[in-house]
Amino acid sequence: MESRFGATAPYTVGVEEEFQLVDPATRALTPAVDEVLAAGGDTRLITSELSRSCVEMLSPVFTSAAELARELPALRRKVRSLAQRCGVEIVAAGTHPFSEPTEQPLSGGDHNRRVEEEMGWVARTQAIYGLHIHVAVPDGDAAIRAVNALARRVPLLVALSANSPFWRGSETRLASTRIKIFEMFPRSGLPPVFHYWEDFEHYIETLVASGSIPDYSWCWWDARPHQKFGTVELRSPDVQTDASYTAALVALVQCLVVGAEEETPENPLFNAENKWRAVRHGMDASFYDFTAGMEVQARSLARRLVEELRPVAQDLGCEEELGGVLEIVELGTGARLQRAALQRSGSLEAVVDYLIEGTAPG
């Protein structure tokens, strides 16, 4: 299985941000990605995703989360400008507050047609929008260690990044509705436990030989090795409305990957229990430490983890960005801020206006 691990400097970072395309008059989703891509010409900044109501921004590779934090707002403004040329706006949130997902046409291309053929109706529910964080690693075993380190922190990462409380015009009472929608896909959710790179290779080769998948990229776990990019990829977060929240999450993930060591992976059954608490309650969740036999509040866990990782952040030059995790704890997740916007306005259309303004200000 070919890979590009070690092809770039270790621990560089990049993101993929999936933005909603919305009609500024109705605030509804609109299938305008082909027009936006055409407006972008030969730019490598944007691409399409499964839904034609989505445009994905592909960041350059950055040496640190601090560098990404400086450049990300301008990158978003470039995408917004391309969208506005086509009469649409971009929105960064895990789900659209009221549009019907299954009414959104799917993008063309062989890959998307195969996904639709394999997934059927489930493919038509996937008008959802995530943040994918990539950190370069030197080799396959380092990738496995990083996946295990991220997997054990998925509940907290989900709690911090939850930004999809509304779906099809309803308050779902979930902090991250997007995650539950995406978990209808096979090979999604928490990754299986792999101890060595050879374990992962054998798993993928077996699935390919059985005709279950064409390649590793059809494993859509919360965290996975990404051979093509030579990275470990965190896929669980909702896309963040505020670019500074994205930078904080990138800093946290970069520090976790750098600090990943050989350790016993978290029991995925217990980890799934805490992940559900995060999906439901966001940063209001209390997680259960099944080893110690006690509960710990998500906010306390976040504060403790930031303190533990400060020496790593200092070495990476992203201590300020890691401190942004504490701002999420204090100011509230995207889900909480969306609910506050609804409480102020009483209108889901006004929530979309709030999201438009917050995605690429300036």
Q: Identify the weakest region by mean pLDDT among 10-14, 105-109, 166-170, 313-317.
A: 105-109
Q: Kindly state the percentage of the chain with pLDDT values over 90.
A: 92
Amino acid at 69: A
DSSP string for 164-233: B-EETTEE-S-SBHHHHHHTTSTTEESPPP-SSHHHHHHHHHHHHHTTS-SSGGG-EESEEEETTTTEEE
Lowest mean pLDDT among 3-7, 53-57, 130-134: 3-7
Q: What is the pLDDT of residue 269?
A: 86
- pLDDT in the model for residue 292: 86
79, 73 Cβ separation under 8 angstroms? no
What mean pLDDT do residues 207-218 have? 96
SS3 state at 241:
coil
Look up residue 270 and give its two tokens: 């217990």
Average pLDDT over residues 92-107: 96
Higher-pLDDT residue of 294 and 266 is: 294
Task: Give residue 2's pLDDT.
Answer: 76
For the segment 182-201, the average pLDDT, to the nearest whole number, is 95
One DSSP character per residue, 123-179 reads: HHT--B-BEEEEEE-SSHHHHHHHHHHHHHTHHHHHHHH--B-EETTEE-S-SBHHH
Confidence tier at 192 by pLDDT (50, 70, 90)? very high
Q: What is the pLDDT of residues 125-178, one digit of tens each?
A: 999 999 999 999 999 999 999 999 999 999 999 999 999 999 999 999 999 999
**Mean of per-residue pLDDT scores for the chain:** 96
Query: Pairing mode, if any, of strands 46-48 and 54-58?
Result: antiparallel
pLDDT level of residue 270 (50, 70, 90 thresholds): very high
Residue 261, pLDDT score: 83
Taken in order of first residue, the domains within the chain and their CATH numbers are: 13-359 (3.30.590.20)
Residue 263: the pLDDT is 67
Q: What is the pLDDT of residue 216?
A: 95
98 contacts: CB under 8 Å, gap ≥ 6: 27, 28, 166, 168, 169, 348, 349
Identify the band that residue 1 occupies on the pLDDT scale cut at 50, 70 and 90.
Answer: low
pLDDT at 105: 94
Is residue 262 predicted with pLDDT exceeding 80?
Answer: no
pLDDT on residue 19? 98
271-297 pLDDT tens trace: 999 999 999 999 999 999 988 889 999
What residues are paired with 224 via a beta bridge?
233
